[in-house]
Amino acid sequence: MEECDYCGASFDGETAYLEHLGDEHGNELGRIEQRRVAALESDDGGSNAATYGGALVRWRSEACWRT
């Protein structure tokens, strides 16, 4: 059983947990969690580089707006 550190939701498996992280907490994820979510998405036929790069660019642009 996986439990979300961000909201406390519980999941039966790692795949469901990682999907939840990407869908609900994508902007809050650290580097390791971003890589885990990106790896799951690349296994589904997506591009690991584009997915990871997109998450990183999105994070950086939000960080710039906060300062």
The model's pTM is: 0.61
Residue 44: per-residue pLDDT: 57
Backbone angles phi, psi at 62, to 5 degrees: -70, -40
DSSP of 11-66: ESSHHHHHHHHHHHSTTT--HHHHHHHHHHHHHTT--HHHHHHHHHHHHHHHHHHH
Q: What is the pLDDT of residues 3-43, one digit of tens each?
A: 999 999 999 999 999 999 999 998 999 999 999 998 887 76
Instruction: Say which residue, 59 or 37, is predicted with more confidence.
Output: 37
Cα dihedral across residues 18, 19, 20, 22: positive or negative: positive
